[in-house]
C-alpha cells in the first residue's frame, strides 16, 4: 500500500511541474506568434522543433544524472566528440551513415559507463570526474577535427530534420518517442531506484537498492542521450565542429532548471527538461523579433539561467509549505486537537 502511495505522490508532483513547464513554453510560443506571425506556419514550427531537439536530448541526459544527485559536465565534450566523429566518418562512408549513428550512440553509452564506474565504484567526486572526461573528450574532438569541417550526408540529415508526409516533423516523433521511453524508465525498478537514490543515498542503500548498479546505468543512459544530442546537432548543421558542444554545458543545465528539475536530486522529469529546452530556444527568437543585437543573447541566457535556478528553489519552498500543511491535517490532527482542547480548558 505504502510504496504505491508514494509512487503516486511522486508522479503527481512531477506531472504538475511538467505541466507548468509545458504551460510556460506554450504561452511564450503563442506570444512569439503575436510578435512575428510567421512563427505559426508549419515550416517554422518544424524548424523550431528540429532546433530544440539537440538541447532537449542534452538536457534529458543532464536531468538523469541530476535525479540521482550527481552532476555531469561531460555533456559538452560528449556532444562535440559525437558531432566530430559523425561528420568525419559519415563523409567518408556516406552509405553506412545509420550504422555509424548506432556506433556513435554506443560510444556515448560507453563514455557514460566510464563516468559511472569512476563515480560509483571508485568513489571519485562526480564533478571532478566529469570535468576531466569533458576535457579529455573535447581534446580528442579537437585532435580528430582541428577546424570546423566534415559533412553529414544529405540523406541522413534530411530524414532527421524533415517531416513525414510534409506534416509531422520527425524531430517531434523522436521527442515523443523519447518521452514515452522516459515514462517507461521512470516507472521501472531502475527508475524508481534512481529517484530514491537522489532523495537519500543512505536510505536507498539501507532499503536494499543496488546503488552502484543504478548509478552506473544512469550515467550510461545520460551518455547515450548526449550522443543522440550530438547526432541530431550534426543533422541540424550538416557539418562538424570541434567546439560544437561547448555551448550546451550552460544551456543543458538551464533547460533542466527551466524544466523544474531539482539540482539536489530526487525530483524532476526529462519531459519537463524537454519543455525547458523549448522555452530556452524560444527566448532568443523574441530578442531576434525585437531586433536586439546578437551578442546580447548570451547575457540574456545567463540571466534566464539565474532566474530559472530560483524556480526549483521556489517550488520546493511552496511544495514544502503545502506538504507541511497536509501533514498537519492528516497526521497532526491529534496534537492540534489536544492543544486546542487545552486552550479551551485554560
Partner 1 sequence: MQPVNVQPSDGSGSAVLAEHSTTSRLATIKTLLQPVLGKLAVPAVWALVLVMIPLSRLFSSYFPSWSLVSNTITLGLFLTVISFGQGLVILSGGIDLSVPSVIAVAAFFTGSLASSGWATIPAAICGVAIGSLIGLVNGLIIARSTFPPFIVTLAVSTIGSALLLGISAGKPGQTAPSGLSSLFDGSLSIAGIPFSAVLLLLAILVGSWIQFRTRLGRRTYAIGNSPQAAVYAGVRVRITLVMVYWLAAIGYGIAGVLLMGYGSGSDLNLGATWLLPSIAVVVVGGSSIAGGNGNYLGTVGAALLITIIGIDINAVGLSQGFKQALYGAVIFIALVLGRLGRGRE
User: Which residue from 35, 57, 261 is spatially nearest to 160, judged by alpha carbons?
Assistant: 57
Closest CB 199 distance from partner 1, rounded Å: 16
User: Does 291 contact partner 1 by CB under 8 A?
Assistant: no
User: Does 253 contact partner 1 by CB under 8 A?
Assistant: yes
User: Does 140 contact partner 1 by CB under 8 A?
Assistant: yes
Nearer to partner 1, 26 or 309 (CB): 309
Of residues 75 through 94, those in contact with partner 1 by CB under 8 A are none
User: Does 149 contact partner 1 by CB under 8 A?
Assistant: no
Whether the CA torsion 245, 250, 251, 255 is positive or negative: it is: positive
Q: How far apart are CA 78 and CA 97, in angstroms?
A: 19
Q: Which of 44, 45, 131, 238 lies at the binding interface for partner 1 (CB under 8 A)?
A: 131
Q: What share of the chain is helix, strand, coil (3-state, %, to 5)?
A: 80, 0, 20
User: Does 242 contact partner 1 by CB under 8 A?
Assistant: yes
User: Which residue from 180, 181, 206 is spatially nearest to 193, judged by alpha carbons?
Assistant: 206
Q: Which of 7, 187, 264, 322 lies at the binding interface for partner 1 (CB under 8 A)?
A: 264
Q: Which of 23, 37, 146, 326 lies at the binding interface for partner 1 (CB under 8 A)?
A: 146
Window contacting partner 1 (CB under 8 A); options: 126-134, 155-163, 168-176, 199-207: 126-134
Residue matched to cell numbers 546580447: 296
Closest CB 251 distance from partner 1, rounded Å: 10
User: Which residue from 309, 328, 294 is spatially nearest to 254, judged by alpha carbons?
Assistant: 309
| H helix or E strand, kind and range, residue 162 | none
User: Does 226 contact partner 1 by CB under 8 A?
Assistant: no
Q: Which of 123, 166, 208, 334 lies at the binding interface for partner 1 (CB under 8 A)?
A: 123
Residue matched to cell numbers 508522479: 11
Q: How many residues bind partner 1 (CB under 8 A)?
A: 47
Helices (H), 68-153: 75-92, 97-120, 126-144
Amino acid at each position: 500500500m505504502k510504496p504505491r502511495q508514494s509512487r503516486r505522490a511522486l508522479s503527481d508532483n512531477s506531472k504538475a511541474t511538467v505541466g507548468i513547464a509545458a504551460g510556460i513554453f506554450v504561452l511564450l510560443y503563442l506570444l512569439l506568434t503575436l510578435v512575428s506571425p510567421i512563427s505559426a506556419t508549419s515550416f517554422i514550427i518544424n524548424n523550431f522543433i528540429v532546433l530544440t531537439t539537440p538541447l532537449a536530448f542534452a538536457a534529458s541526459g543532464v536531468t538523469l544524472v541530476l535525479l540521482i544527485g550527481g552532476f555531469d559536465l561531460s555533456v559538452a565534450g560528449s556532444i562535440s566528440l559525437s558531432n566530430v566523429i559523425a561528420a568525419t566518418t559519415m563523409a567518408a562512408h556516406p552509405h553506412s551513415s545509420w550504422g555509424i549513428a548506432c556506433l556513435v550512440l554506443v560510444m556515448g553509452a560507453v563514455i557514460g559507463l566510464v563516468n559511472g564506474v569512476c563515480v560509483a565504484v571508485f568513489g571519485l567526486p562526480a564533478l571532478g570526474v566529469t570535468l576531466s572526461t569533458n576535457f579529455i573528450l573535447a581534446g580528442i574532438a579537437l585532435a580528430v577535427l582541428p577546424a570546423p569541417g566534415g559533412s553529414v550526408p544529405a540523406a541522413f540529415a534530411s530524414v532527421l530534420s524533415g517531416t513525414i508526409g510534409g506534416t509531422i516533423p520527425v524531430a517531434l516523433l523522436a521527442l515523443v518517442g523519447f518521452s514515452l521511453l522516459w515514462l517507461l524508465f521512470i516507472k521501472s525498478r531502475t527508475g524508481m531506484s534512481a529517484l530514491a537514490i537522489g532523495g537519500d543515498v543512505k536510505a536507498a542503500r539501507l532499503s536494499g537498492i543496488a546503488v552502484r548498479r543504478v548509478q552506473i546505468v544512469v550515467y550510461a543512459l545520460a551518455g547515450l542521450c548526449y550522443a543522440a544530442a550530438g547526432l541530431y546537432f550534426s543533422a541540424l548543421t550538416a557539418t562538424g565542429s570541434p567546439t560544437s558542444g561547448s555551448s550546451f554545458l550552460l544551456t543543458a543545465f538551464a533547460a533542466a532548471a527551466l524544466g523544474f528539475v531539482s539540482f539536489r536530486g530526487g525530483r524532476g522529469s526529462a519531459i519537463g527538461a524537454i519543455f525547458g529546452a523549448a522555452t530556452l530556444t524560444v527566448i532568443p527568437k523574441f530578442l531576434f523579433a525585437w531586433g536586439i543585437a546578437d551578442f546580447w543573447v548570451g547575457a540574456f541566457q545567463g540571466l534566464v539561467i539565474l532566474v530559472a535556478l530560483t524556480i526549483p528553489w521556489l517550488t520546493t519552498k511552496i511544495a514544502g509549505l503545502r506538504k507541511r500543511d497536509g501533514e498537519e491535517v492528516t497526521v497532526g490532527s491529534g496534537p492540534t486537537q489536544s492543544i486546542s482542547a487545552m486552550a479551551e480548558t485554560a
